[in-house]
Amino acid sequence: MTSSNHRKRAITGLLLAVCLLVSIAAGGNLVLMLVLVASSFALWEFFSMYWPGTQHLGRKIVGLAMGGALVVSQTFGSQWTLLIMAMIVSLLSLGFLVDFGGGNSHARIEHHAPLLQGLVYIPLVLQLALSLSQSEQCLVMSATVATDAGAYYAGTHLGKRKIWPVVSPKKTWAGFAGGIGLCVSVCVAYGMLGGLFVWSVPDLPLWAWGCLGLLLGMTAQFGDFFESALKRSLNVKDSGIVLPGHGGMLDRIDSLLFVLPAYFFVRLTAGSG
């Protein structure tokens, strides 16, 4: 990466961090709006990888509306989320029925699948963040950013052996280790600070915080690998151009989309909240 691109990446990353910190500190509707905006951009990029340009524009617009409803539904309770998911499945099934019944003999249910996949992959996962306390939101974001930063810089300066070239030619074992190492360090530090402050996070011993860092660091990088495989399968370089130096919104939150469910698993099994 050239110094100019690196500067763009750093500036964009700093601005995103400031927006996140301000939103999390303010809480409430500001966090909801942040999740809604991030979800909408990422979802549009996801749909556009399957249907570039104006292809199936109606589907993409309906998908955005459904995604927004999924995010907002969290504020009304889990029953609303389940109801909206059921309605989404029914509407997608109806779309296939109308398509096939309208005389399109080539219509297949899998042609509509990207809508459902995108809605589950992005807004349904992102809305989990709205159920977290402010300290937990900071923890999840810190773990994700630490993994990305550790993997990027360790891979750039020390990386030689490739992990999975067919999926992501630039990812190295050094980067993988660097990402996990920094994530573990951040989580352990968070656990140590938790002994000094009353934070709404899982009550875990320090060794368990280290294990949490290992889990989140690994899942973050699997999230990155998944999106890389998705893009390569669709012959797409970046999901979008909305974030200079980073690509699209989906390129920026792909790790978070795997970290959130992993953290929620620990949160539930640890009996927090």
Specify whether 42 is located in the same domain as 167: no
Q: What is the pLDDT of residue 109?
A: 85
Angle between the N-to-C axes of helices 29-50 and 57-73, in degrees from 0 to 180, rounded to the nearest 10 = 150
In the listed set 131, 166, 184, which residue is the last one of a domain according to the structure?
Answer: 131
Specify whether 149 is located in the same domain as 265: yes
Domain count, the chain: 2
Under-70 pLDDT residues of the chain? 1-10, 12-13, 195-202, 244-246, 271-273
Specify whether 34 is located in the same domain as 86: yes
Q: How far apart are CA 37 and CA 43, in angstroms?
A: 10
The pairs formed by 166-169 with CB atoms below 8 angstroms and a separation of 24 or more are: 167/225, 167/228, 167/229, 167/232, 168/224, 168/225, 168/228, 168/229
In the listed set 131, 151, 179, which residue is the last one of a domain according to the structure?
Answer: 131
In the listed set 85, 116, 131, which residue is the last one of a domain according to the structure?
Answer: 131
Q: Which of 66, 175, 172, 158 has the alpha carbon at shortest distance from 114? A: 66
Specify whether 103 is located in the same domain as 138: no
Specify whether 266 is located in the same domain as 137: yes
Q: What is the pLDDT of residue 11?
A: 72
Q: How far apart are CA 55 and CA 234, in angstroms?
A: 15
Specify whether 121 is located in the same domain as 10: yes
Phi then psi dihedrals of residue 154, to 5 deg: -65, -40
Angle between the N-to-C axes of helices 134-158 and 173-194, in degrees from 0 to 180, rounded to the nearest 10 = 150
Q: What is the pLDDT of residue 215?
A: 96
Q: What is the pLDDT of residue 273?
A: 44
Q: What is the pLDDT of residue 105?
A: 83
Specify whether 259 is located in the same domain as 126: no
Specify whether 144 is located in the same domain as 271: yes
Specify whether 49 is located in the same domain as 143: no
Q: What is the pLDDT of residue 232?
A: 92
Specify whether 122 is located in the same domain as 236: no
Q: What is the pLDDT of residue 48?
A: 94
Q: What is the pLDDT of residue 35?
A: 92
| Whole-structure pTM value | 0.89
Domain that holds residue 106: 1-131
Specify whether 187 is located in the same domain as 80: no
Specify whether 21 is located in the same domain as 113: yes
- Please give the radius of gyration of the chain, using alpha carbons only, rounded to the nearest integer: 19
